[in-house]
Amino acid sequence: MQNIMMTAAADPIGWHGTTILCVRRDGHVAMAGDGQVSLGQTVVKGNARKVRRIGTGGAVLSGFAGATADAFTLLERLEAKLERFPGQLERACVELAKDWRTDRYLRRLEAMMAVADKDRTFTLTGNGDVLEPEDGVVGIGSGGNYALSAARALMTVDGLSAEEIARRAMKIAADICVYTNTNVIVEML
C-alpha cells in the first residue's frame, strides 16, 4: 500500500483537482478557479486558491493547473517577465514560454497557466504554446473542458455578465467532474 501511495505522489498525472475558467465579456474579465486538490481518488484539500492577481497593481489575472510548486515557479517567472515588459502581457507570455521550453529545469515543470489582462487572454503550456482564444473563453485543468463548454453555451444568453457566466459554468463543471468542487474563487478585471 505504501508503494502505491508513493508512486501516486511522485506522478504529477496522479494529481487532479483543478478547473480554471476565464471569461471575457462586454469589456470585463472573470477568472474562476475551484478549490479542490485530489491525490488519486482522495480529496486532499477543498479550499486551494488557484487564481491570483499578478503584475503591477494586480493588472493581470492568472490561474494554474498542475503541480502546485511548479505552478508557483511559473507564476514567479511570469511576474518577472511582466516587470521586464510592463503592460505587454503577450510579450511576457512568449518570453516565459521560450524559457519554459528551452531551460532544462523549467521544461520539467508540470503545469498549465491561463492569464488575462484587460485586453487579452492566453493559455500557456510547457510545450511552448501561447494560445489566445477566438471567443475570449479559456478552460484548463481536469474540469476545464466541462467549464469551457458550459461557458461557451452561456455566452449565447443575453444579459449575463462575465462573472455570472464563469460562476454558472464552474457549477456545471463541478456537477460533472469529480476532481472539481463548488468552492470557487473569482477574480475580476
**What DSSP line would sit under the chain, residue for residue?**
-HHHHHHHHH-GGGEE--EEEEEEETTEEEEEE---EEETTEEEES----EEEESGGG-EEEEEEE-HHHHHHHHHHHHHHHHHSTT-HHHHHHHHHHHHHH-TTGGG--EEEEEE-SS-EEEE-TTS-EE--SSSEEEEETTHHHHHHHHHHHTTSTT--HHHHHHHHHHHHHHH-TT--S--EEEE-
Q: Note the CATH architecture for domain 2-188.
A: 4-Layer Sandwich (3.60)
- Residue 148 confidence (pLDDT): 96
Residue 169 reports pLDDT greater than 70: yes
Residue 69 reports pLDDT greater than 90: no
Select, from the ranges 43-52, 64-73, 94-103, the one with the highest average predicted confidence (pLDDT): 43-52
Domain range list for the chain: 2-188
pLDDT digits (tens, 9 = 90+) for 17-42: 689 999 999 999 999 999 888 877 88
- Residue 144 confidence (pLDDT): 92
Mean pLDDT of 171-184: 91
Mean pLDDT, the chain, integer: 84
Whether the CB-CB separation of 62 and 32 falls below 8 Å is answered with: no
Instruction: Name the one residue in this structure whose C-alpha cell is 532544462.
Output: 104
- Residue 107 confidence (pLDDT): 58
- Residue 17 confidence (pLDDT): 63
- Residue 14 confidence (pLDDT): 42
Mean pLDDT of 104-110: 63
- The residues assigned a catalytic role are 18
Q: What are phi and psi for residue 71, nearest 5 degrees?
A: -65, -45
Q: What is the pTM of this model?
A: 0.85
